[in-house]
Amino acid sequence: MSDSPAPLADPHLVFDAADGRRDLVILGSTGSIGTQAIDLVLRNPDRFRVTALSAAGGRVALLAEQARRLGVTTVAVAAEDAVPALRTALRDQYGAGEPLPEILAGPDAATALAASDCHTVLNGITGSIGLAPTLAALKAGRTLALANKESLIVGGPLVKALAAPGQIIPVDSEHAALFQALAAGTRADVRKLVVTASGGPFRGRTREELADVTREQALAHPTWAMGPVITINSATLVNKGLEVIEAHLLYDIPFDRIEVVVHPQSYVHSMVEFSDGSTLAQATPPDMRGPIAIGLGWPERIPDAAPAFDWTAASTWEFFPLDTDAFPSVGLARHVGGLGGTAPAVFNAANEECVDAFLAGQLPFNGIMDTVTAVVSEHGTPAPGTSLSVADVLEAETWARARARELSAKATAEARA
């Protein structure tokens, strides 16, 4: 391991903050990660100052409220047609004569903010549209608190080419857990990474028993409250497959030394097994404010960032092996991660389309992974040594989305015939 590249996420390295508060840019401020990050910032005004916010543009009233409470200088929305409503919302929030924040709009607005003057960029955007902001933040030398796993997965070589060792601090609960556990030893001491999965709402069911599950059942996650796409990804365990690829890229650990184990309580967020047989687990009650606090504050810890366990109350922690027959997504993710090139982008894009089709009642639950597998198979194997560009990623995603829609429509037509 000592001769392999330095990991992108390394708890022994961190870019130093300037004296006083850390200046932050929050991308995806009106989403789940963004709103919880703002809660942390407002409770710790002596540690953090937010200079800019970005959002998609669907919740302009909330964005305007956030801007006023944080006193930011710039706000950005991806949807240009949201600007008039945003400007009105800002005027409603600010007093007469108070200067309004600068407004940026369009698909490149978040990317511009990611390169702006700050210490840390929190990328809480959902989906592969977060790739350009991730690259911009790294190129500008910012510390990147990364909640947007898709940008690393679809653009792995591009991200690795730009990131300095330790420049990325992961915000996913699983990768924040690995990040913290890895601080206990050297890379040469690491034998295995163990990524935990709740198992979602269908833990224990066979593939046959999953054939007729409904949208409502799939959205009823037993542990976490999340958006619909990530909730379905947790039900299929695609999310866990993406996290395996992410762990490989972040920590430069081979796929055969990254294991997935089902842990229904979601108390242990992931574990590191060391060469002496010791396993270190990072555990907290399920709450994303803990991982967000690591991303924003490391190497310092933010007091009372999230609830702690009540050790006076009895509890049971269970662990089960992954059922790879009922949930083939992790194995397929390992496969595309090993292929590299545009294969992970094809996997991710096809899955997003299939999740949309399932949510719209156009594809059965098992059809999600069946269709994704077919699209990945058609994409084929990239040529050895092939370089990757942002244009390559976008082209592969466009093809994968179109092909997934075609196959989903064909499956729907055949089912109705």
Judge whether 160 is annotated as a binding position: no
Angstrom CA distances, 15 to 38, 63, 163, stand at 22, 29, 12
| Residue 33, marked binder | yes
On whether 397 is known to bind a ligand per the annotation, the reply is no
Q: Please indicate if the annotation marks 233 as binding a ligand.
A: no
Any known ligand binding at 172? yes
Query: How far is residue 349's CA from residue 338's CA, in Å, rounded to a whole number?
Result: 17
389 annotated to a ligand binding site: no
Q: Is 239 annotated as a binding residue?
A: yes
Alpha helices, DSSP H, located in 284-359: 289-297, 329-339, 343-359
State yes or no: 175 annotated in a binding site: no
30 is in an annotated binding site: yes
- Amino acid, single-letter form, for residue 94: Y
- Tell me the DSSP string of 84-139: HHHHHHHHHHSPTTPPPPEEEESTTHHHHHHTSS-SEEEE---SGGGHHHHHHHHH
Q: Is 9 annotated as a binding residue?
A: no
Q: What are phi and psi of 280, to 5 degrees?
A: -105, 125
Instruction: Show Cβ contacts of residue 5 under 8 Å, excluding neighbours closer than 6 positions.
Output: 160, 252
Residue 32 is labelled as binding a ligand: yes
Residue given tokens 């907290």 in the structure block: 284
149 is in an annotated binding site: yes
Residues 6+ apart with CB under 8 A from 277: none
Q: Is 173 annotated as a binding residue?
A: yes
d(Cα 381, Cα 208) in Å, to the nearest integer? 30
What is the rounded distance in angstroms from the CA atom of residue 216 to the CA atom of residue 392? 36
Q: By the 8 A CB rule, do 269 and 328 touch?
A: no
CA distances from 306 to 287, 348, 397, 409 (A): 7, 31, 37, 44
Q: Is there a binding annotation on residue 326?
A: no
Pairwise CA distance, residues 408 & 398, whole Å:
15
266 a known binding residue?
Answer: no
28 is in an annotated binding site: no
Q: Tell me whether strands 268-274 and 279-283 are parallel, antiparallel or unpaired.
A: antiparallel
Q: Which residues pair with 122 in a beta bridge?
A: 26, 145
Buried-state track 221-241, b at ≥16 Cβ within 10 A, e below 16: bebbebeebbbbbbbbbbbbb
On whether 56 is known to bind a ligand per the annotation, the reply is yes
Report residue 149 as tokens. 């796993």
Nearest in space to 204 (alpha carbons), one of 227, 244, 235: 235
Sign of the Cα torsion 156, 158, 161, 164 reads negative
Bind-site residues for 1-deoxy-D-xylulose 5-phosphate: 149, 173-174, 198, 221, 234, 239-240, 243
Q: Which residues belong to the annotated binding site for NADPH?
A: 30-33, 56, 148, 150, 227
Known binding positions for Mn(2+)? 172, 174, 243
**What residue numbers does the annotated binding site cover?**
30-33, 56, 148-150, 172-174, 198, 221, 227, 234, 239-240, 243
